[in-house]
Amino acid sequence: MLKPKLTQSILLLLSTISIILFIFFISFSIQYNKNSPNISTFTNKTITLKNSSHQFTLFIGILTRPDKYDRRHFLRLIYGTQSSSPIAKTDVKFILCNLTKPEQKILIALEIMRFDDIIILDCHENMNSGKTYTYFSTLPKILPTRYDYVMKADDDVFIRLKPLALSLHTLPRFDLYYGFVIPCPSMNPFVHYMSGMGFVLSWDLVEWISDSLVTVNRTFGPEDKLVGEWLNSGKKAKNRFSNKPAMYDYPGTNGRCSHDLIPDTIAVHRVKKWDQWLHVLSFFNVTKDIKPSKLYNL
């Protein structure tokens, strides 16, 4: 009679110890991972992280064109193999304008059935004639939930989701405009605007773009420059953060916007050719965690 009870208590003790060890391990690994130079304090954040599965939500829309099937499949590999947890919950979707060819309606419907990562906006495909406006102004009306942050990204940029999440998680959740400030040598995020390679707005600014009279008739022109002009005209984005040198153009492609690949990278832009992609992917060891198996020998 005594034996089962004893076994039970031992089991209880063991599971309690393992839970404590688990919590200790989690908090340790969070602290350990937190070595980005842009983050100063996180004592309270650690407590929050332990308590919830993620701390904030980020929506990344990659603006691309319907016919770029190969690029989408490639980018699905790039982002599908990354995770920003437990710091953030990140959703990545491709942003298209209206389809124009019969085969697109079949092929893209298949992509949607398989991946559910495509948004088709009510616009004609374009770069500087309002697609970015349509993107930001439509999101609050069609997304099932709000996000803390919304990013607009190009399809020739490599974004590292975890470093991005780490750099955002101590920044304000409101009135925030984050990216790579133009002109290239500038370190002042309050002059001019964030490069279209990839910039982040807090949700309140996305809603403001959607509702404001400042933006509605100013949708034509260089898309990234316009966003800066809207925010300045509306006296918005009191919180601005330009993340240099962690964001940049691929080495040698764009003068002073470019520099060598560095370990503390958040985004590399103008990655267009295969040899450039391979250079980037090998530099950041993106395949190092592949699990061993009898099925392949790489």
Q: Which of 17, 19, 112, 216 binds ligand NAG (CB under 6 A)?
A: 216
- CA trace torsion 256, 65, 94, 171 (10° rounding): 30
Q: Which of 63, 123, 194, 271 binds ligand NAG (CB under 6 A)?
A: 123
Q: Which of 70, 122, 275, 289 binds ligand NAG (CB under 6 A)?
A: 122
Residues contacting residue 256 through CB under 8 Å, at least 6 positions apart: 184, 185
CB of 297 to ligand NAG, least distance (A): 20
Using CB atoms within 10 A of its CB, is residue 200 exposed (0-12), middle (13-18) or buried (19+)?
buried
* Closest CB to ligand NAG among residues 44, 293: 44
CB of 191 to ligand NAG, least distance (A): 26
| Binding to ligand NAG in span 98-117, by CB under 6 A | 98
Q: Which of 5, 6, 37, 43 binds ligand NAG (CB under 6 A)?
A: 43
Q: Is 263 in the site for ligand NAG (CB under 6 A)?
A: yes
Q: Which of 44, 145, 293, 297 binds ligand NAG (CB under 6 A)?
A: 44
CB of 107 to ligand NAG, least distance (A): 17
* Closest CB to ligand NAG among residues 11, 216: 216
Measure Cα distances from 252 to 18, 199, 256 in Å: 51, 22, 9
Interacting span for ligand NAG (CB under 6 A) from 109-117, 120-128, 159-167, 202-210: 120-128
CB of 213 to ligand NAG, least distance (A): 4
Q: Is 217 in the site for ligand NAG (CB under 6 A)?
A: yes
| Binding to ligand NAG in span 146-205, by CB under 6 A | none
Cα–Cα dist 180/224, whole Å: 11
Listed residue (79, 68, 56) closest to 147, CA to CA: 56
CB of 10 to ligand NAG, least distance (A): 26
Q: Which of 124, 256, 272, 273 binds ligand NAG (CB under 6 A)?
A: 124
* Closest CB to ligand NAG among residues 181, 267: 267
Q: Name beta bridge partners: 63.
A: 95
Q: Is 213 in the site for ligand NAG (CB under 6 A)?
A: yes
| Binding to ligand NAG in span 49-88, by CB under 6 A | 51
CB of 219 to ligand NAG, least distance (A): 10
* Closest CB to ligand NAG among residues 199, 219: 219
Interacting span for ligand NAG (CB under 6 A) from 10-18, 22-30, 119-127, 222-230: 119-127
| Kind of pairing between the strands at 118-120 and 88-96 | parallel
Can you give the binding site for ligand NAG, defined by CB under 6 A?
A: 43-44, 51, 98, 122-124, 213, 216-217, 263, 283-285
